[in-house]
Amino acid sequence: DFVMTQTPLSLSVTPGQPASISCRSSRSLLHSDGKTYLHWYVQRPGQSPQLLIFEVSNRFSGVPDRFSGSGSGTDFTLKISRVEAEDVGIYYCMESLQLQYSFGQGTKLEIK
């Protein structure tokens, strides 16, 4: 099985401060088509997951620009430049190669 490892598993951030979540894959996520299939989701309390970032660094429609994604190969990062109260939730990375998908364990973001 392909494994996605997120760190940290939880973090507590003061509003206005930055936050960073790391995601490491057990295999390279670079496809032969040149794209890298690593995505980020957030699941806010009591809600369905929502897409934040697709293909490493592309913000989905309506996602604020304080969210950014970076990385390549097997190592990826989600950054929030200035955390707001509404950012509370669990953040998941997900890899998708050849119609097989794996999620990271999730990182719980709390507000101090």
Partner 1 sequence: EVQLVQSGAEVIQPGESLKIFCQGSGYIFARYWIAWVRQMPGKGLEWMGIIYPGDSDARYSPSFQGQVTISVDKSSNAAYLQWSGLKASDTAMYYCARQADTGYDFDHWGQGTLVTVSS
CB of 19 to partner 1, least distance (A): 19
Residues 6+ apart with CB under 8 A from 77: 20, 21, 22, 23, 69, 70, 71
Where in 73-92 is the site for partner 1 (CB under 8 A)? 90, 92
Nearer of residues 17 and 77 to partner 1, judged by Cβ: 77
3-state SS, one letter per residue, for 33-44: CCCECEEEEEEC
Does 100 contact partner 1 by CB under 8 A?
Answer: yes
Does 103 contact partner 1 by CB under 8 A?
Answer: yes
Which residue from 11, 51, 88, 111 is in contact with partner 1, where contact means CB under 8 A?
A: 51
Cis check for the bond before 18: say yes or no (omega within 30 of 0). no
Stretch near partner 1 under the rule CB under 8 A, chosen from 16-24, 41-49, 63-71, 76-84: 41-49
Q: 5 with 93: CB under 8 angstroms? A: no
